[in-house]
A and B are shown apart, each in its own frame.
Chain A
Amino acid sequence: MNKKQKRLAFVSSAVVVAGLAVTLVMTALSSSVAYFYTPSDLAAADERPTNTIRLGGLVAAGSVAYAEGTEARVDFIIEDGAHSTPVTYVGVLPDLFREGQGVIAQGRIGPDGVLAASQILAKHDETYMPREVAEALKEQGVWQGEPPAE
């Protein structure tokens, strides 16, 4: 090997070794790298988690109920197609919060199985279109609605 080939071999092996190390770390951490769990993940779990978790899914249609009175409490259900989890939250909701929208609720699951959320995040999809186009599509009945979030 001449000097150039040696340098190339050195830097390639450094990158390969570092790549392997990162892959191993990411495989080991794959469950904690996930930003949120789904209701199906919860249903598949052996026991109910007692620590703070993030739960992601779609706001079930017709499930949103605003509590009477001054307290800004809202109850709704997060579903992922297969399973669903009830959520209760006191506070300001993000602008994109609505039925059928992907959301992530952070909080603890109580003994009654209801997730008491301390924060609600809206997860929007990757489609961007002007309002007028969306309204025109709705009028023509072509609008397919929100594609299911994962």
Chain B
Amino acid sequence: MTTQQTSFWTRYANPAAFQRLSARIAPLAGGGAVALFAVGLYFALIGSPAARDHGEAVRILYAHVPAAWMSLACYTYMAAASLVGFVWKHPLADVAAKSIAPIGATFTALTLITGSLWGKPGWGAWWVWDARVTSVLILFFMYLGYMALWNAIEEPTRAARIAAIACLVGFINIPIIKFSVDWWNTLHQPASFTKQGAVDGAIALPTWLLFSAYVLAFFWMLLVNMNAELAERRAARLEAGARPTSTLVAEPAE
């Protein structure tokens, strides 16, 4: 490997360098999220029309659909970070994977709650056990299980290893969720936004604005969580009697 290839990979493996970088990025992501939420909520609640069939209830879509995308995206990032942490032992990858889990669980809970609120006016039921709804509920439990594994195992390197395997095996659920509406008869309608002409521009605009807000909020929460996790680990090492200077260098790769 050339030095140029290794530089980015290893530079932010140093927690101190990562914390300097995230201190600059986190406020930008948080501020951007607040601004996009303000604009997005205006278009979602005031600046957009009622829909044919759904009437005013279509506004639930603007919270539901981006949250559903985020619930899948968070798990995908978590699986990618778990793979990098498990195979290449990048010291920040495990921290990232652990930090994504509660955010992903929150987006999944938001998906289920807003879906239920929309299900009553749309379908006529708060809850149904069709393939889409059930597979998303399983995703929610997988996030909870992943977090429980981290809490149950005391030693971080061992917890990271076992949680990573669980996360990667559970990734099978992601394509099942995505294609459940195509593979089986479901009450849930098939994908709209990837279908040409299915979503009118006036309804797509608030969706994309709020999705962008969710993405920036995700990065902001991720950086805050990762910094908290790094601080917690340093505190644990200090308590265990490690010398303070050793916390500034990256942990050995193996």
Contact = CB atoms under 8 A, between A and B. Distances in A.
B147 interface: no
Contacts of B190: 126
Given A18-B172, A126-B190, A128-B203, A11 B83 contact: yes
B240 interface: no
Contacts of B176: 22, 26
Contacts of B186: 35
B181 to A, nearest CB: 9
Contact of A126 (B48, B83, B169, B189): B189
Contact of B169 (A14, A34, A122): A14
A35 B185 contact: yes
Contacts of A130: 48-52, 200, 202-203
B56 to A, nearest CB: 10
Contact of B125 (A121, A125, A134): A121
Interface stretch (B12-20, B30-38, B191-199, B225-233): B191-199
Contacts of B184: 30, 33-35
B252 interface: no
Given A14-B168, A15-B172, A126 B195 contact: yes
B207 to A, nearest CB: 9
A127 B195 CA distance: 9
| Chain A binding surface SS class | mixed
B200 A4 contact: no
Interface in A18-74: 18-19, 22, 26, 30, 33-38, 56
A18 B169 CA distance: 6
> What is the interface residue range for chain A against chain B?
35 or more
Contacts of B128: 35, 121
Contacts, number: 118
Most-contacted residue by chain A among B130, B185, B190, B199 (CB, 10 A): B185
A30 B176 CA distance: 13
A4 B172 CA distance: 23
A72 B74 CA distance: 46
A82 interface: no
Nearest to B119: A121
B219 interface: no
Interface string B146-163: 000000000000000000
B172 A128 contact: no
Contact of A121 (B123, B164, B191): B123
B171 A15 contact: yes
Contacts of A123: 123, 187, 189
A142 interface: no
Contacts of B52: 129-131, 133-134
Q: Ordered nearest first, which 6 A-B pairs have the shortest CB separation?
A: A94-B124, A130-B49, A134-B52, A129-B200, A35-B130, A126-B192
19 contacts: A4-B87, A11-B86, A11-B87, A11-B164, A11-B165, A14-B168, A15-B169, A22-B176, A35-B128, A93-B124, A96-B122, A104-B187, A121-B128, A124-B53, A126-B195, A127-B192, A128-B199, A129-B51, A129-B203
